[in-house]
Amino acid sequence: MLDLHKHHRHHLDRRQGGFAGAILLGAVAAGVVAYYASKRGPKRLPLIGARHRKVHLEGSVNIERSAEDIYNYWRNFSQLPKVMTFIDRVEDRGAGLSHWVAKGPLGHSIEWDSEVVDDIPNQRLSWHSLQGSDLQTWGDIQFREGPHGRGTDVVVHLNFEPPGKIAGAAVAHFLGGLEKAMLNQNLRNLKAYMETGDVPTNRNQGDGAQDHRQPA
């Protein structure tokens, strides 16, 4: 198995942005909201105060490719469904705009538009969802030289906030069990694809990617 560089966990202010995982987890969260709204009804959901609705996650992985290679792959958003679970397709609409379609439970599809707000080639991409989106997501992905010049450290900060107390409750319950596995799995997928050209299917592989959540 390919070795993954271990990172120490950091306590970050939850208002700071996150990028790649935010899109993924935001999509799945929206699917959970759709499931509860259509199949179980709002009265079956416990209500959680606003301070619990925003979620911040951080993840990192070391990839034995150059920052330029990884940045160029990521910047072509239409390629991301290869490594991002639950994302069905991404349409690059130019001028930093893109349209995302995610797979949700029970055949639901969740769609939203996002905009790149900061683009430093080979170093950093940051993004936020457009005003009017059902799901508010924002954040960044950073590309840093690995320790002793070994590969590239990819660092993801991600945030999302669905509107309303009911949506917040659904997302909070969902994240309680799946956030770590989902974020790490997608970072492993990215690493494997960039290093070997294949995406692993074995769910029991080692947990080399690190993440940290700070609930709001």
Cα distances from 187 to residues 9, 68, 90, in angstroms, run: 16, 17, 18
pLDDT, averaged across the chain: 72
pLDDT band at 118 (very low <50, low <70, confident <90, very high): very high
Average pLDDT over residues 51-55: 59
Burial group, residue 95, by CB count within 10 angstroms (0-12, 13-18, 19+): exposed
Say what the pLDDT of residue 153 is.
Answer: 98
CB 5 within 8 A of CB 146: yes
Residue 67 has pLDDT above 50, yes or no: yes
**Residue-range domains of the chain with CATH:** 20-197 (3.30.530.20)
Task: State the Cα–Cα distance between residues 181 and 98, nearest whole angstrom.
Answer: 26
pLDDT band at 180 (very low <50, low <70, confident <90, very high): low
Q: What is the 3-state secondary structure (H, E, C) of 75-135?
A: HCHHHHHHCCCCEEEEEEEECCEEEEEEECHHHCEEEEEEEEEEEECCCEEEEEECCCCCC
Identify which of 40-49, 71-80, 165-174 has the greatest average pLDDT: 71-80
Burial group, residue 113, by CB count within 10 angstroms (0-12, 13-18, 19+): middle
pLDDT above 90 coverage of the chain, percent: 37
